[in-house]
């Protein structure tokens, strides 16, 4: 079952693409949430650069939560765990960034990820999709694994010249420049911003600073 696409759309599970000395492979990113205090756990024998790419994915989502349809207060009462099986294989690099981001957004919005989409691309804090290496090996692995659509960084579009025709014919390859394009392609439903009033924001800030959401007290902080 390793190296094959999932059999159904899943919440919080995204198919990334890995590149090793012996070729490309599918990489499953799994994210689950549980009641907690805003901790982020990452496991799967991840090296520092991949760990940092999960931190960037998390901050990207937290910093634009309202636009993505996620209540900011959710981060105070939820722990998130991102795991990349299998547990024994060391993994590194930033190129799973857009897959990490998509897994977190899918998890927190309850919006399933299309099971036949795979993706590769570094993501910046502003949501820009940055180029990656090993495109050829990754596309071969996607084809082998039954993937139908692969999202790649637009800056890698020039590398498609070296990709065999049968691969390009067997896959729908979509170049993207921004994480919102990734969400649009990979999630089964569009993302809708939530309403988040000034009162909501004041209540959240009061909760974060350990002070009661007392309108008078809030008042006295401002004049």
Chain residues binding Ca ion by CB under 5 A are 86, 88, 154, 177
Among 27, 60, 105, 135, binds a copy of itself (CB under 8 A): 60
Which CB sits closer to Ca ion, 177 or 207? 177
- Known catalytic residues are 95, 138
Which CB sits closer to Ca ion, 75 or 94? 94
User: Binding partner of residue 56 among a copy of itself, Ca ion, none, CB under 5 to 8 Å per kind?
Assistant: a copy of itself
- In contact, 139 and 164? CB cutoff 8 Å: no
Residue 75 sits in the site that holds a copy of itself (CB under 8 A) = yes
Residue 21 sits in the site that holds a copy of itself (CB under 8 A) = no
Residue 88 sits in the site that holds a copy of itself (CB under 8 A) = yes
**Which parts of 199-218 interact with a copy of itself (CB under 8 A)?**
199-201, 203-205, 207-211, 213, 217
Q: How far is CA 209 from the centre of its chain?
A: 29
User: Binding partner of residue 36 among Ca ion, a copy of itself, none, CB under 5 to 8 Å per kind?
Assistant: a copy of itself
Encode 89-135 in three state secondary structure.
CCECCCCCHHHHHHHHHHHHHCCCECCCEEECCEECCCCEEECCCCH
DSSP strand pairing (129-130 vs 122-123): antiparallel
Q: Is 59 helix (H, G, I), strand (E, B) or coil?
A: helix
DSSP strand pairing (172-176 vs 149-153): parallel
Residue 9 sits in the site that holds a copy of itself (CB under 8 A) = no
Which CB sits closer to a copy of itself, 160 or 204? 204
């Amino acid at each position: 079952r390793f190296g094959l696409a999932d059999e159904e759309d899943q919440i919080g599970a995204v198919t990334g693409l890995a590149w090793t000395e012996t070729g490309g492979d599918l990489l499953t990113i799994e994210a689950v949430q549980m009641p907690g205090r805003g901790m982020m756990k990452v496991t799967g024998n991840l090296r520092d650069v991949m760990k940092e790419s999960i931190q960037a994915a998390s901050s990207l989502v937290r910093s634009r939560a309202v636009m993505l349809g996620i209540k900011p207060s959710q981060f105070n009462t939820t722990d998130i765990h991102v795991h990349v099986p299998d547990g024994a294989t060391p993994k590194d690099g930033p190129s799973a960034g857009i897959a990490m981001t998509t897994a977190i957004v899918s998890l927190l919005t309850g919006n399933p990820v299309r099971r036949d989409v795979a993706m590769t691309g570094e993501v910046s804090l502003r949501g820009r999709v940055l180029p990656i290496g090993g495109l050829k090996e990754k596309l071969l692995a996607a084809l082998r694994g039954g993937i139908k659509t692969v999202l790649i960084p637009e800056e890698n579009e020039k590398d498609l010249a070296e990709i065999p025709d049968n691969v390009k014919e067997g896959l729908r390859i979509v170049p993207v420049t921004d994480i919102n394009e990734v969400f649009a392609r990979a999630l089964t439903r569009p993302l809708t911003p939530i309403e988040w009033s000034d009162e909501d924001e004041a209540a959240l800030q009061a909760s974060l600073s350990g002070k009661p959401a007392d309108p008078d007290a809030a008042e006295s902080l401002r004049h």
